[in-house]
Structure 1
Amino acid sequence: MLEISAGDTAWVLTSAALVLLMTPGLAFFYGGMVRAKGVLNMMMMSFISMGTIGVLWVLFGYSMAFGNSFGFEVGPTKPDGVTFFGLLGNPLDFAGLKGLMSGDAAVFTIPALAFVAFQACFAIIAVALVSGAIADRASFGGWTLFTILWGVLVYFPVAGWVFSFDGATGTDFHGGWIANWLGALDFAGGTAIHINAGISALALALVLGPRIGFGTKPMRPHNMTLTMLGAGLLWFGWFGFNAGSALGAGTLASVAWVNTLAATAAAMIGWLLVEKLRDGHPTSLGAASGVVAGLVAITPAAGSVNPVGAIIIGVLAGAVCAFAVGLKYKFGYDDSLDVVGVHFVGGMLGTLMIGFLADPEAPGAFGAAGLFYGGGFDQLWRQAVGAIAVTIYAFVVSYAIALLIKKTIGWRVSPADELSGIDLAEHSEAGYDLSPVYYTNKVQRTLVLTKDDLAETEKMGASK
């Protein structure tokens, strides 16, 4: 066993806190993009994911992802002769995180519980990402049940496929098939998180149907200040997301950090250029969306490309996703906040670009070379198989979960509640106290419309 490093442990625990901050950041990002009458509900959909997934991860989720995998022997595809096709971690191996408080329980050079904490925050935000596709129309109860079922049936297994390496969490433990048997590279979750969440979002959007007035009435973001704040928090937290995935404070973390900066900056520029050339003006929503598109696309490639490759991925992600978000109008699905166009498309692009741009000198490439670095199509086909497999699995299971909820407790709020405001209908709260303005003798007064207030204004002789 490797000796536990205090520096690596401190970096991973700090990174876990940064990744956890991303979920409230996502709540701001999504919250500003919906209409004012749905901002609290939108933010609550992110926050409840922290509750349900946080508990499930401790009880058995971590074990389903990183326990000794059930699977079968099959011929190797990797040169190192890996033959085990791992499908699902044993949920009983680490149930309740038993046995992981010991000083001997480690993952590489960090305590096992530091790894548990880091991966828990990944699981939380993966679920929360899906919510943007069904804004303004999904019942809070339906969404809460979805977070539970999707975490257990979709995220936990797929996380094991991608992130669980043979022997990392237990002596002679088998990990997931994408990481070990297939040998696809996914540094921090292009498949497990972004393709997974993005295609699942499409499944939910199809089952729930569009918002009332979709395509005919304007549904503009109500508060771009919140959205820009959320984008900034996401970018800040994403350094923990990507650089923290090195699981150590060293060269690999440094490469991932710089690549995350470079790709995201380039993606914002790419998106704004598309807006300027296509629409005549760059927008703050475009800047925020470009930032997220770049973060998504570089996530799988952060450790396996060089900084120039990161810029190429970023520019492509910004431009491609800027066009992809318009596909919902062409095909008629209501992906409210562009989860499909940004996370699925961006995650797919970043995952596949590894097959072209993987630099064998990058520490996270582990010697793999992309097509442009003399590696031929070997890494590209591995990336494609992993991405397609996650796409099919996540879409089918997510669609089934969505149909189950629709047929049982129901998904959508009533048309009346959707039109009047989902915040009041689902939470009996309003995001803003928009009190009318009154004037008395040219002095402005702001009053809350309660019966007592109205009576008081009559006494004062106030008039509108």
Structure 2
Amino acid sequence: MGDLFVYRSSGNFLILLNKVCLTVFEASSLDMIWVLLCAALVMLMQAGFCCLETGLCRTKNNINVALKNLMDYCVTGMVFWAVGFWLMFGESTNGLIGEFRLPIGENATPGQLTFFLFQLTFAGTSATIISGAVAERVRFNAYIITTLVIGALVYPVIGHWCWGGSFTGNASGWLQEMGFVDFAGSTVVHSVGGWVSLAGLIIIGPRKGRFGAGAKPIQASNVPMAVLGVMLLWFGWFGFNGGSTLGVTDGIPRILVNTSLAAAAGSCAMLLIALITSNQPTVDRLINGVVAGLVAITASCHAVSPMSAVLIGAVGGIVCSLITKMLIRFRIDDVIGAVPAHAGAGVWGTLAVALLGDPKLLDTGLPWTEQLMVQFIGATSAFIWAFGVGFVVLLTINEITPLRVKSEDEIKGLNVAEHGASSELFDLMSQMNVHRNTGDYTQTVDIDPNSEIGRIGMQYNSVLQRISQDQRVMQTASREIAKMNQELMQTRTRELKESTLKSHFLTQLEQEIRKPMQVIAEHNDQMRQKHASDSTCMQYIDQIEDDSRHLLDLVDDIMNLTDLNSENFKLHETKLAIRDLLDEVCQKYRPQAKTKHIEMQTQIGPNVPLMIYADVDRLRQILDHLIHNAVRYTRTGYVHIMAKAIPQGEFNLILRITVEDSGIGIKNDMLERIFDPFFKFHPEDDQINLSDPAGTGMGLTICRRLAIASHGNLTVGSEHGKGSTFCLTFQTKADHPVVPLPQWSKDDSGEYELANIDLSGKRILYVEDQYDMQQLIQNYMRGVGAKVDLADNGKVGMEIAMAAWKTGRPYDMVLIDHLMPVMNGITAVTKLREQGFTQPIVMLSAHASNYREKCMTAGCNALLTKPVDRDMLLRMTHKFLSRQSVTAGV
């Protein structure tokens, strides 16, 4: 080793030549040549950082990133020469900062100038780390100000703490005096750059589109360039670590071997992690593995074995991987991975000095435990200083002049927004944007056809020509379509006018027909009374009545079709009780069914709500026609009407009503024809005696069209000679959330004989506040063998009913009055149903017609009007209780 340069890490400095106002160093030519060569290699690292950062960012920002790499080195060089060098290496003030002097000038010796140049390249390296971390969204001017602060204050101060005696030969920094070792700058250079980068990332935030819903990974613009950059860094690192001997020594081979092994181990560790976790090693991971290994070995490359160097590099790669994931989790957008590769790996490398370094080569005189504590204090102090000062400085700059560019500039790209530096790609995109905004595709883009972007432009021009051609065709077609639309509108207006006139005519005609038909009906009734004993006259009178009814049915069908064909046709939905409607329609055909010995049953599934929304008149019309046909074409047997619900949500449902009969059936070739307009069905069964004339042939046509208008359909299934099943489905909704209720069924084929009713063993709860009514209902029920328990208000009745329910011996049925003190009947029924009570409940009310909807909504199965008819009460009770073995209630 020459007579000038000493190990920064050594506690016992070799030579102190003199102590004048400027210490004079003398060095051998060989030492200076080596350090100058290493300074050139470190300068080459600046090119490596430039290639790495421009390769990993997007094309629209690569000029900005490259200029920042150039200018941060220039600005750092000037401010380090003017201020930073003496703050770092001047005579120490309490080990905290060097004494400020005038910049090094003509009086400096060649050795001093060599030392200064080498340290200048280190300062530039520390500053340029920040450029890559915050790339693609930081204003150029704000970044230059940040670089000034780092070169003048942040880097020199931490450098004085750790290396302050490297120039004078005295261990003057407070960390240096403690025995802190950082041979080539894991902490001083790389951790400082990484921690300031972290402060900047927190303040400026992530790039647009980096995180959040729909975010996709931002692709690097030139991966080969980035790989070249890291290889240049690797090569330049030989000067970074090797030159830190400050002379030619026999330790240089060890330093260079350890440097190379650590870099390779760091990348291999990242490769192994990638294969284990995702089986897809990405470029950025492998690149940062190399950088992390290099940074980690920098603090101890002179004092560890090759095996230890491999371990240090591998752990550096692992630390880098873990911190990278942590940053993503906290949505910190580090473009090149500066924080994990420089700050994280730098801290590990600093601690590894104590864990794996050779105490003889470290030459601090400290046991490894104390050395580890000193290394920890040094790494922590560097974090506090670099991150703390960096955060305050950057936050202050951000308040004065925003660090981040505008959102539109970030989208446009910093090449253009910050420097006005256009590119072929930007020019192409600008011209494409003009096409998008104006919609004029007749002008092609002007671009060099021989470049790669130019070839894309040529293909885009071909697309433009095709679009222009298609536009001309579309414009011609649009004119033709507009002309046709105008003609169609004129035709439609004319047809609407004719349709309106036709509708008006039919309405008038209907009125003109109905008036004389009413007169004919009245005269016919008079003739029936007058000639009741004349069989021949009665035959003519019946024929007149049938023909009149047929004519009125024909008028009704014509008016229905007119309504359906009208553009103004719409359904008028109201709230209705589906049970009452089915009961009403079935009641109309009960006498005819009884005469023909047809069993008529109505059954409603448990999912069908009590109240639904539908057009009651249209639904009644469909059901009336279907049930009429079922009774009409059934000689004997049954007609079953069933309703089921298919829930489609909390309120919405599809209602399915089937009308099944055991009649004559329909042949397969006629199943769809029966829905055709004016198709008349003529049964072949000579045992079917049709007393009424054939219909108009429009009934089923109208029914199906009404079903379709209700967002449903009407279908038929039949087996000739065995019967038919018509199925009506339509969409509707309930007025309350759909809650399964007991299944409801009704048999209309005949009446129960009171004498046959026996309710022995049945228990009934009667809730009534009037004593006379309690006695009356008790007498009714005792007469048929039922046991009746009493409650005088809704609250007591509810408690008694639920108590019996919970014991497993529920009442077979509950009779409850509507208006009572304490708690009325509707409230009591609602609470019973909410608690899961499923037994039949019948409400008695003097205002049945007014409260039917409320009662059914509350959960009642039936409603009787006061004064109660004894026969009706007993028959209803018998129907409920006789079917409890099959269903839960009526």
TM-score after normalising by structure 2: 0.45
Is 1:435–1:448's contact at 8 Å kept on the other side of the alignment?
A: no
> Which of residues 156, 175, 180 is equivalent to 1:178?
175
Q: CA deviation at 1:204?
A: 0.5
Is 2:91–2:99's contact at 8 Å kept on the other side of the alignment?
A: yes
**Equivalent position of 1:101 in the other structure:** 108
CA distance in 2, matches of 1:122, 1:409: 28
Change (3 A) 1:432 1:122: farther
| Structure 1 residue matching 2:333: 3-state secondary structure | coil
The amino acid across from 2:27 in the alignment is I
CA distance in 2, matches of 1:8, 1:432: 49
**Equivalent position of 2:97 in the other structure:** 88
Is 2:60–2:426's contact at 8 Å kept on the other side of the alignment?
A: no
| Structure 1 residue matching 2:251: 3-state secondary structure | helix
**Which structure shows the higher helix fraction?**
1
Is 2:76–2:124's contact at 8 Å kept on the other side of the alignment?
A: yes
> Which of residues 413, 417, 421 is equivalent to 2:409?
417
**Equivalent position of 1:78 in the other structure:** none
The amino acid across from 2:145 in the alignment is L
CA distance in 1, matches of 2:26, 2:57: 49
| Structure 1 residue matching 2:421: 3-state secondary structure | coil
The amino acid across from 2:179 in the alignment is G
Is 2:80–2:152's contact at 8 Å kept on the other side of the alignment?
A: no
CA deviations on 1:158-180 (whole Å, 9 max, x unpaired) are 11112222xx4347x6622122x
Q: CA deviation at 1:333?
A: 2.0
| Structure 2 residue matching 1:325: 3-state secondary structure | helix
Change (3 A) 1:261 1:174: closer
Change (3 A) 1:382 1:100: farther
**Equivalent position of 2:47 in the other structure:** 24
**Equivalent position of 2:389 in the other structure:** 397
**Equivalent position of 2:355 in the other structure:** 356
CA distance in 1, matches of 2:452, 2:257: 50
Percent identity, aligned pairs only? Answer: 33
The amino acid across from 2:127 in the alignment is V
Q: Work out whether 1:280 is the aligned partner of 2:279.
A: yes
The amino acid across from 1:33 in the alignment is L
CA deviations on 1:43-81 (whole Å, 9 max, x unpaired) are 22211111101111221221111111111xxxxxxxxxx
1:226-375 aligned at under 5 Å gives the runs 226-361=225-360, 363=361, 365-366=362-363, 375=367
The amino acid across from 1:101 in the alignment is A
CA distance in 2, matches of 1:427, 1:393: 33
> Which of residues 42, 49, 69 is equivalent to 1:46?
69
Q: Work out whether 1:157 is the aligned partner of 2:193.
A: no
**Equivalent position of 2:205 in the other structure:** 209
Q: CA deviation at 1:348?
A: 0.5
The amino acid across from 2:36 in the alignment is L
Change (3 A) 1:45 1:431: farther
CA deviations on 1:132-158 (whole Å, 9 max, x unpaired) are 221111000000011001222201111
The amino acid across from 2:356 in the alignment is L
Change (3 A) 1:241 1:276: same
1:130-145 aligned at under 5 Å gives the runs 130-145=130-145
CA deviations on 1:10-29 (whole Å, 9 max, x unpaired) are 10000001101111210110
| Structure 2 residue matching 1:334: 3-state secondary structure | coil
Change (3 A) 1:428 1:175: same
> Which of residues 188, 191, 203 is equivalent to 1:192?
188
**Equivalent position of 1:112 in the other structure:** 112
CA distance in 2, matches of 1:297, 1:249: 23
**Equivalent position of 2:536 in the other structure:** none
Q: Work out whether 1:406 is the aligned partner of 2:398.
A: yes
Q: Which moved more, 1:236-245 or 1:299-308?
A: 299-308
Q: CA deviation at 1:253?
A: 2.1
| Structure 1 residue matching 2:96: 3-state secondary structure | strand
Q: Which moved more, 1:349-358 or 1:206-215?
A: 206-215
CA distance in 1, matches of 2:109, 2:151: 27
For structure 1, the 5+ residue unaligned runs are 72-85, 104-110, 370-374, 437-443
| Structure 2 residue matching 1:326: 3-state secondary structure | helix
CA distance in 1, matches of 2:107, 2:281: 50
| Structure 1 residue matching 2:193: 3-state secondary structure | helix
Q: CA deviation at 1:321?
A: 0.9
1:432-451 aligned at under 5 Å gives the runs 433=425, 445-446=449-450
CA deviations on 1:177-202 (whole Å, 9 max, x unpaired) are 122x2211100011111111111111
**Equivalent position of 1:83 in the other structure:** none
Q: Work out whether 1:126 is the aligned partner of 2:130.
A: no
Number of matched pairs = 418
Is 2:26–2:109's contact at 8 Å kept on the other side of the alignment?
A: no
**Equivalent position of 1:80 in the other structure:** none
CA distance in 1, matches of 2:148, 2:394: 12
Is 1:260–1:310's contact at 8 Å kept on the other side of the alignment?
A: yes
**RMSD of aligned C-alpha atoms?**
2.6
CA distance in 1, matches of 2:44, 2:109: 28
| Structure 1 residue matching 2:103: 3-state secondary structure | helix
**Equivalent position of 2:378 in the other structure:** 386
Q: CA deviation at 1:340?
A: 1.0
Is 2:162–2:173's contact at 8 Å kept on the other side of the alignment?
A: yes
> Which of residues 162, 166, 169 is equivalent to 2:167?
169
Is 2:142–2:402's contact at 8 Å kept on the other side of the alignment?
A: yes
The amino acid across from 1:162 in the alignment is C
CA deviations on 1:98-124 (whole Å, 9 max, x unpaired) are 465236xxxxxxx01100000000000
Q: CA deviation at 1:367?
A: 5.7
The amino acid across from 1:178 in the alignment is L
**Which structure shows the higher strand fraction?**
2
TM-score after normalising by structure 1: 0.84
Q: CA deviation at 1:242?
A: 0.4
Change (3 A) 1:10 1:278: same
1:212-227 aligned at under 5 Å gives the runs 212-215=208-211, 216-227=215-226
Is 1:264–1:314's contact at 8 Å kept on the other side of the alignment?
A: yes
The amino acid across from 1:40 in the alignment is I
Is 2:179–2:364's contact at 8 Å kept on the other side of the alignment?
A: no
CA distance in 1, matches of 2:147, 2:174: 25
Q: CA deviation at 1:462?
A: 11
Is 1:40–1:430's contact at 8 Å kept on the other side of the alignment?
A: no
CA distance in 2, matches of 1:219, 1:54: 33
Q: Which has the larger radius of gyration?
A: 2
